[in-house]
Structure 1
């Protein structure tokens, strides 16, 4: 690796570190929802130039965690309203049960291996902040994205990924007590898909989403 390659690699590592740091601040509400984000302030805090901060905020904007306003700079995205939350889950209930059904229809040995490999990465939360909950959130996102991919529909996979739903849900509420319940449902869903039973797979996904919507999350608005 020559000098130029090393310099590029160090720059990328710095940008990734700044991105993760700001993302954690947003997820843990250190930067409050709807609050202004000071590029210069973050650069001073992290002892970096403004460039990696700007790059990080551009990435976070693409994930729906930050909003750039003309002549004003960036602010943290507001939390989902109840109507937005319901709309998100209605959309998920439209596409994800179908994706699970289709994945079961198309499943092969490679798909079964990918499901089992993803389940093996799941770790229950160790604390009630983003650092402790991140592994489960990342697994949850990958697991649902994988099922969308196994459906064979790039449109469904892309539509699901664009919601960035797991990031928005985590910002609303996190409770490590739900970890075992979520993972149990993931195993049941994966088993239904792996068995090649489309009806069971569709039903398992519907139940999983409805449990999250009505029992685990919607109560935070009450």
Structure 2
């Protein structure tokens, strides 16, 4: 398999303007954490990349204190490794066994979100999911992978919202964020977008029919099939790089 690599946005050299416009309660370290998190989960900062405090302070035009606080906060989410084998701080790597385990947990958590959505979703929430599903179908025809990935994120967020849970939705989002960079790569592989449309359709149909069991199994199938694609992709990338991710 020859993996197709998604195009990544250029890395900013300063905090984004929109971050500067956040609420009064947001600190500089909060803004920096959000910016670094975006760079990590989007794949701009790749697993294993070193994160030097002095370099980051210079790049984002801040002192080292908010950089240190931001890195500690990111370490608490699992996105940053403060004690890497290479020495110093780096973007966290996920081993293949751990990645498989995370996707197995993700499948159950998204299955539960779908199950609760089949029981609790409002008509407005169902409409939101349907609208996003229709948009994904249109994007598929255009072949716009980047746009498809973004709207796919919105679809899953809408599913979590439709579950009308708090802790479950929050934890599912957190885990999804940990594996987001790998999911992004898979979106760009041949046939994955077409498969996603069918899998989302099955989830949505079960939710519309208020069928919790079918919604649960459809969501698990979706994430499990995605896991298979990711394992294949990581194996191919490892062969090219001569090592594990």
Q: Same fold (TM over 0.5)?
A: yes
Is the CA contact 1:192–1:200 (under 8 Å) kept in the aligned structure 2? yes
Instruction: Provide the rounded CA distance (Å) in 1 between the counterparts of 2:194 and 2:177.
Output: 17
User: After TM superposition, what 4+ stretches of structure 1 lie above 6 angstroms from structure 2?
Assistant: 10-15
Deviations 1:144-171 (A, max 9, x none): 34433433433322331332x3442424
More helix by percentage? 1
Is the CA contact 1:137–1:170 (under 8 Å) kept in the aligned structure 2? no
Aligned to 1:84: 98
Count of matched residue positions in the alignment of Structure 1 and Structure 2? 204
Q: Does 1:211 align with 2:231?
A: no
Instruction: Provide the rounded CA distance (Å) in 2 between the counterparts of 1:33 and 1:91.
Output: 21
Q: Aligned match of 1:160 in 164, 168, 172?
A: 172
Provide the TM-score with structure 1 as the length reference: 0.68
Say which is worse superposed, 9-18 or 193-202, in terms of deviation.
9-18
Aligned to 1:100: 114
Provide the TM-score with structure 2 as the length reference: 0.63
Instruction: Provide the rounded CA distance (Å) in 2 between the counterparts of 1:151 and 1:25.
Output: 27
Instruction: Provide the rounded CA distance (Å) in 2 between the counterparts of 1:49 and 1:150.
Output: 41
| Structure 1: segments with no counterpart, 5+ residues | 1-7, 128-132
Q: How does 1:46-61 map to 2 (within 5 A)?
A: 46-50=60-64, 53-54=67-68, 56-61=70-75
Deviations 1:191-211 (A, max 9, x none): 321232323322321221121
Q: Does 1:188 align with 2:226?
A: no
| Structure 2: segments with no counterpart, 5+ residues | 1-19, 236-245
**Superposed displacement of residue 120, structure 1:** 6.2
**Secondary structure, aligned partner of 1:37:** coil
**Superposed displacement of residue 56, structure 1:** 4.5
Is the CA contact 1:189–1:201 (under 8 Å) kept in the aligned structure 2? yes
Deviations 1:115-140 (A, max 9, x none): 2354467566856xxxxx4x555544
Q: Does 1:198 align with 2:212?
A: yes
Q: Aligned match of 2:43 in 28, 33, 51?
A: 28
**Superposed displacement of residue 213, structure 1:** 1.3
Instruction: Provide the rounded CA distance (Å) in 2 between the counterparts of 1:168 and 1:23.
Output: 13
Question: What is the Cα-based RMSD across aligned positions, in Å?
Answer: 3.8
Deviations 1:27-75 (A, max 9, x none): 436x452343112112323444445544543553344221335xx7632
**Secondary structure, aligned partner of 1:174:** helix
Is the CA contact 2:109–2:168 (under 8 Å) kept in the aligned structure 1? yes
